[in-house]
Amino acid sequence: MEWGAITKCIVEWYQQNKRILPWREEKNPYLVWVSEIMLQQTKIEAVKEYYARFIAELPTIADLAKVEEEKLLKLWEGLGYYNRARNLKKTAMQIETEYGGAIPTTWEQLKKLPGIGEYTAGAVASICFGEKVPAVDGNVLRVMARLTGSKKNILLTDTKKQVTALLTKIMPEEAGDFNEGLMELGETVCIPNGSPYCEICPLKTFCIAKAKGETMELPVREKNLCRKKEERTVFLLTKQGKIAIQKRKETGLLSGMYEFPNVLGKLEEKEINQLLETWKLKGKTIVRKGEKKHIFSHVEWHMFVYQIEVIKENTSFLWVDEEMLEKQYAMPTAFQKVRK
């Protein structure tokens, strides 16, 4: 492969074609760091609104370090993977105490911080501080697999290590633009779903997958995942315009978030009435509202939803109106689906 020509091509293409994004306006390491954490598992267009709201409320590392967790989770509501938000705060606190409020400038230092892995450390170090280190995410793995015609499974750690080693060897002086260029290609041209836009790709003359007609077969992604399925009965308990919510445990899935009362299993009406008795509630009306499904990385919830108007409130739950639920309490997407 003509790596010198390829790296030059990527950098020049990026400089001429990069999208205007709020975190690219200045190479502020705080803004880049927050955006990169948000962009994990989430598309750019979806992130923009969350990012704008988050930065408006928490414009500096100091603000992030001292924000209350409930407000933090409310700002993060809808992005999922909530430990990312908690790790942001934990890291901000560490940066305040150990680095005087300034984000570390090297890949090695960044990687030691909570929630910052090799990719995020590489992105911040290269984009903001010019360190010649790669930032390898799914987009980069896809571009490199097609470019080199690799049949290796990109979900394997060894494959990622090999791509990282190769990129480290060929990294140009414009490391940040090179890394962002690879990511931008993967997001806008060498796309994952559907046919890539090979006719406008700056790497089309170098690409082995294009030459062999294998762009739809590559990259190889072989999952070895057995996802557990759970049935849950979810209750919308209402009383005079208020609805019952409760806080989840501080450990485990969706820890510390708010949810509608729910139990494992698919309950019948007789069992629902028995459960209401244990909650010291009496249902005035019980209406089945349908079913919802939500998929996490290792578990799939099948939710059977009932709306129940109760005769009196129960202090075991927190009873809130719609405005309070919207503004104050962070509720994960699984229960937002039920709410809608």
Q: What does the alpha-carbon distance between residue 111 and residue 129 come to, in Å, rounded to a whole number?
A: 15
Residue entry with tokens 């990259």: 219
Residue entry with tokens 């606190």: 93
Token couple for 324: 């309070």
Write down the catalytic residue from 12, 26, 36, 313.
Answer: 36
Question: β-pairing, 258-259 with 283-295?
Answer: unpaired
Q: What does the alpha-carbon distance between residue 37 and residue 63 come to, in Å, rounded to a whole number?
A: 17
Q: What does the alpha-carbon distance between residue 167 and residue 8 come to, in Å, rounded to a whole number?
A: 13
| Cβ-contact 74, 330 below 8 angstroms | yes
Catalytic status, residue 69: no
Q: What does the alpha-carbon distance between residue 85 and residue 75 come to, in Å, rounded to a whole number?
A: 9
Find all residues with CB under 8 Å of 61, minimum gap 6, and list them.
30, 92, 95, 96, 101, 103
Catalytic residues: 36
